[in-house]
Chain A
Amino acid sequence: MTMIRLKNLSKSYNLGKEEIPILKRISLDVEEGEFLAIMGPSGSGKSTLMNILGCLDLPSSGDYELESMNMLTGHANKLAEIRNQFIGFVFQSFHLLPRLTALQNVELPLIYSGLKKKERKERAMDALKKVGLEDRASFRPPQLSGGQRQRVAIARAIVNKPKFILADEPTGALDTKTGEQILSLFKKLNGEGVTIIMITHDEEVAKKADRIIYIRDGELFKERSEDVHA
């Protein structure tokens, strides 16, 4: 079943008189339960695509549907609600709040969806258990290793039971071994039915996914073309 449908999505920026196209009429379907990797070099428009997928930014034109629901409602507060309810973010540099404990960090999305304190704690603890960090719940990010921090971030991404996880270079700041642990965690979550969209420029990382889509100069390709590497 198709979960995400992008149709003729374009994005361009105005730099003075010139109009710079970043995404050129992109269309993409993502199935429910899929583990999709989007690969591309820097400047290819993959960050912009990720921002639009994450409802952090709006396209210039085109449609974006999640389970037949229009995601492009425009209003900032509405977009915040969509992000909170449907999307779990995992960032390259973790983006944890350093002054909060691991548990409090995981709780954040639940606070914004207005859950009661007790339920928040329980669900955040469950999410930490899923990533194997329940014994680190009261640690603050600076006391955790890079891999542990990313696992806290993943716990935070899944705590609100989102429709899909959007991971932006999730292993980019980690060494190979730790990166592999994170990827197998993604694999495990995917096995439990979580849809994952991962953006990366690393072929090895992308290979872990079920399907790889290449992006180059604002366009999507099914196959990796040789000149990208050159």
Chain B
Amino acid sequence: MLENIRISFQSIWGHKLRSSLTMLGVIIGIAAVIAIFAIIQGRSEDLKSNLIGMGNNTINVVFEEEDMYGEEGMWGGEMSNRSAPPIKQEAIEEILTYPNVNGMSIYYEGWQEAYHLINVTHPRLLGIDERYFDLFPTTMVEGREFTESDFASYNQVALINEVAMSELFPEGDALHQTIDIGGIPFKVVGIFSDAIEDSDWYYPESTIYLPTTIWPLLNGFDAPMQVAVQASSSETIQEVGTMAADRLNMDLPPYETAIYQVADFERMMEEISQYDQAFAFILGGIASISLLVGGIGVMNIMLVSVTERTREIGIKKALGAKRYVILAQFLTESVVLTSIGGIIGILSGLGIAKAISVFANMPYFVSVPAIIGSFIFSMFIGIIFGILPSIKASKLQPVEALRYE
């Protein structure tokens, strides 16, 4: 067997141009599969980690009418701005003690213009508590974060991001300046950058943070609160979210028709993997066509190789080589040929995927099962398309094979 593999390499090496051209079909087929798979898988993994847990195992508990995430699925519901009873501090404390809960933050979210002199911005306005940055870390560029006294003393202070700063303070120098939101002045105490959310699914938008405690000054006391809970791992997100929602629901008055609830990530996962499967099917189709073409090329060259080596086969048979010896020799050569093609295809496929991900700024994902699968499949092509020429070789009559010039 080893001897056969060695002979195969010799023979493939002996016809470098021909062998590489023959391999090309397999190489292109496998490379295409690997590259497309890496890109699609990359996007899908990225989508999953961004949708599910916002990239840091965090889930939002939303106060909505029942069944928002009902039959029509997660995409069917619509965020409403209905009011909600304030969340009690003790509920938060209690949820934080639950197993697998890493952190929790309560915040307000809204869209409201902010002004400085004649400059205006339309920021995403967030009223955040002191735990918000534990869940969504941010990088301060200038100034400071909120302090305990900002929350306790209802200080009219704001953190703005670089986008908001460039819109409000085109000439720079925003720190300690005053901005106007809904007719109320806020002092800019810090400027942060959006680095943390700089993934494909976000583009930097104007964002302003205020302390939660000052929020009612803008929107009253019954503004709906957002609840974010961070789980210790992506596996426990769903469970942690459900537990937090259940705890919050306990405090709701009996007449309330809305409840706290979380998106059904398992269903979302399922939907995403259904898309993946559809892609896999289409891919499989394309791949099989190109690999079929490559395989036929291999078969063609193997038939030529058998004809060329008729005399060699005759000699070997005259010296006592049995049929399976000849069969194994040619089959090995064909499998070695397509396997080399497969390996080159896998490497170039990964290279192409890497290049695409660098140039087009797309994520890519190296799937080990896909690589192993492609390699086994390339060997399989060698067997399928090598079997006919090998049988032909093994069936040659020694007399005729020896006479062949």
Contacts and interface: CB of A to CB of B under 8 A. Distances in A.
Q: A and B bound?
A: yes
Interface stretch (A2-10, A49-57, A61-69): A49-57
B322 interface: yes
Given A56-B402, A99-B10, A77 B323 contact: yes
Nearest to A117: B3
B10 to A, nearest CB: 6
Contacts of B315: 95-97
B322 A81 contact: yes
A28 interface: no
Interface string A169-200: 00000000000000000000000000000000
A36 B78 CA distance: 103
A84 B320 CA distance: 4
Given A56-B398, A56-B399, A57-B399, A95 B318 contact: yes
Best-buried of B314, B320, B325 by chain A (most CB within 10 Å): B320
Interface string B287-320: 0000000000000000000000001101111111
B322 A80 contact: yes
Contact of A84 (B312, B319, B323): B319
Interface string A87-116: 001010001110100000000110111000
Q: Which 10 A-B pairs have the closest CB atoms?
A: A84-B320, A112-B320, A77-B322, A95-B315, A56-B398, A109-B319, A80-B322, A56-B399, A57-B399, A83-B320
A81 to B, nearest CB: 7
Interface of A: 51, 54, 56-57, 76-77, 80-81, 83-85, 89, 91, 95-97, 99, 108-109, 111-113, 156, 160
A80 B10 contact: no
Contacts of A111: 3
B321 A80 contact: yes
A80 B320 contact: yes
Given A76-B322, A77-B322, A84-B320, 14 more contacts: A56-B398, A57-B397, A77-B323, A80-B323, A83-B318, A83-B320, A89-B319, A95-B314, A95-B318, A97-B316, A99-B10, A108-B316, A156-B319, A160-B320
Interface string B316-358: 1111111101000000000000000000000000000000000
B319 A112 contact: yes
A97 B323 CA distance: 18
B325 A56 contact: no
Contact of A112 (B311, B325, B398, B399): B325
Nearest to A109: B319
Nearest to A98: B312
Nearest to A112: B320
B312 A109 contact: no
Interface residues of B, number: 20
Nearest to A95: B315
Contact of B399 (A51, A84, A95, A108): A51
B14 interface: yes
Contacts of B323: 76-77, 80
Contact of A80 (B14, B311, B317, B402): B317
Nearest to B326: A80
B308 to A, nearest CB: 12
Contacts of A81: 320, 322
Nearest to B10: A99
Contacts of A113: 320
Contacts of A56: 318, 398-399, 402
Nearest to B325: A112
A112 B322 contact: yes
B397 to A, nearest CB: 8
Interface in B1-55: 3, 10, 14
Contacts of A80: 317, 320-323
B402 A85 contact: no
Contacts of B317: 80
28 contacts: A56-B318, A56-B398, A56-B402, A57-B397, A76-B322, A76-B323, A77-B322, A77-B323, A80-B320, A81-B322, A83-B318, A84-B319, A85-B320, A89-B318, A91-B402, A95-B314, A95-B402, A96-B315, A97-B315, A97-B316, A99-B14, A108-B316, A109-B319, A109-B320, A111-B3, A112-B320, A112-B321, A156-B319
